[in-house]
Amino acid sequence: MHVANDLTVAPGGALTGRLTVPGDKSVSHRSVMLGALADGVCQVSDCLLGEDVLATMDAFRALGVAVENHGDGRLTVHGVGVDGLRAPSAPLYLGNSGTSMRLLSGILAGAGLPATLTGDPSLSRRPMRRVAEPLNRMGARIATAEGGTPPLTLAGGGRLRAIDYVLPVASAQVKSAVLLAGLFADGITRVTEPAPTRDHTELMLRACGVDLTVEHGTVSLRGGQRLAPFDIQVPADISSAAFFIVGAAIAPGSALTLPAVGVNPTRTGILDIMDAMGARIDHGQPRACGAEPVADLTIHGGPLRGIEIPAAAVPLAIDEFPAIFIAAACADGRTVLHGAEELRHKESDRIAVMARGLAALGIACEVFDDGIAIEGGQLQGGEIDAEGDHRIAMSFAMAALRASGPVTIHNAANIATSFPSFVADARAVGLRIQA
C-alpha cells in the first residue's frame, strides 16, 4: 500500500474507538524464515505484509522456497528443510530491512551458500560488521563494504563450527543471526547477551521442536537439529501500537482499544515507561497467541510527567523511543534518556533526527552521545523531515494531537515498510491526517 511522501496533520483531536494494528514485524519475518527451514508446509495468519517482510519473502523465493501470499495476512510457506536452500542467481535486495539482512546472513552462512545482500540507501549505511564478525568466527566468509556496511558478500563454503559468543551490545538481530547459523554448525552454539532482548527467535525455534536452553542470559542450541512444520497466528505489533498508545495517552478525551497486542516481556519497555509517566493503560483479556502472550490494551488520555528512563527499560523499548519522545514533549517536566547509543544506528540517527524535529515544533532538547533530555512544553505547528525513517514519521503524526498548528512531515513514504495502512487506520480513530 502506497504512503505519500508528504503528510500534513491538522492540530488537536483525540483517538477513540477500536483499532487492530498490523501483525508483529519481528514475528512475521521469523515466520517466513523458520517456515522456509522447516520440513513441511507452514501456515501463517495475520502476517504483516509491509515492504520489509515482503523483502524477506522475495529473498526466500530466490533461495528456492515457495511462499504463497493469499492476502489478508495469510501465507503458506513450503519449507525445504535446513539442507534444501539453493544459492540465489542474483543479489538479494532487502530494501530497508535490517532484520532481513542480519538474520538471513546467519542462515546463508550456515547453509554455506554464496550470496550478495544489498539494500536501499538507508540500509546501506547501517552497521553489519557486528553480525559478520561472529559468523566469520564460526567459519563463514563474509565481507562488508568499507566501514562495515552493506553490501554483504558471502563466499559460501563448508560447515560452520559452534562458538561461545558474548554480544558486545544487546542486539536481538545479532543474537538471532548467530543462533540461526548455529542450527547448521558442529557442536553447541552459545550466545550471551548483556541485557535481555526480544526472544521471538527462541520461542519460535522451540515451537518448531528445536531443543534450546536459556540460562543466566545465555542461549544454547546444538547444531544439526531439524525444524518441524508449524501453523502460527502473528500477534499485533507492539511497535506499531506504540504510536497509538502515545497518541491516545497525550490527547485529552482519548479512549482507544488495541486488541491482541503482543506483550512479550522482552518488548514491553514502552508500557513500563508510559506507566512511569502516568499514562492510563488497561490490560484486558491476557492470553496466548501461539507462543506469544497478547492482551487488549485500552488507553485513556491524561496528564503525563517527565521521568528518568531506567537503563533496564532501554533494550526493551529500543524501537519505540521515537514515539516515547513525543510523550516526553507533552509531559510536565524533564524526561532524560541515557544508554541508548543504539538509536544512532537505526534507519536514521534517531536521537539527532528526533531532536531536530522536536526543536522545529518548539520543544527544548539536550542531546547526548547515548541519549537525550526533553523539556515538556507546548508543541507548535511546523515542518518535519523524517529523513526516510518510518517510525519518526508516524511519531510526529501523533504530535499534532497536542500541537497548536498543523504538522507537516516530509520524507514519510517509508511508513509502508512497517505499517502500510497507517494513514487510513489513524484517520479511522480520529487523527486529522491528510496525504
Helix (H) or strand (E) holding 434: strand 433-434
From the number of C-beta atoms within 10 Å of its C-beta (0-12, 13-18, 19+), residue 72 rates as exposed
Compute, in degrees rounded to 10, the torsion defined by CA atoms 133, 138, 143, 149: -30
From the number of C-beta atoms within 10 Å of its C-beta (0-12, 13-18, 19+), residue 430 rates as buried
The partner residues of 224 in beta bridges, in order of sequence, read none
Q: Residue 279 in contact with residue 298, Cβ under 8 Å?
A: no
Q: Residue 38 in contact with residue 227, Cβ under 8 Å?
A: yes
In the set 24, 52, 120, 319, the catalytic residue is 319
- What is the SS3 assignment for 26? helix
Q: Report residue 30 as a C-alpha cell.
A: 521469523
CA angle 69, 72, 73 (to 5 degrees): 65
DSSP state of 305: B
Query: Smallest Cα–Cα separation from 268: which of 283, 254, 257, 256?
Result: 283
Q: Which residues contact 140 (CB under 8 A, 6 or more apart)?
A: 109, 132, 154, 157, 160, 181
d(CA 260, CA 157): 43
d(CA 418, CA 422): 9
CA 129, distance to chain mean position in Å, is 20
| Residue 319 is among the residues annotated as catalytic for this protein | yes
Q: Residue 273 in contact with residue 298, Cβ under 8 Å?
A: no
Residues with active-site annotation? 319
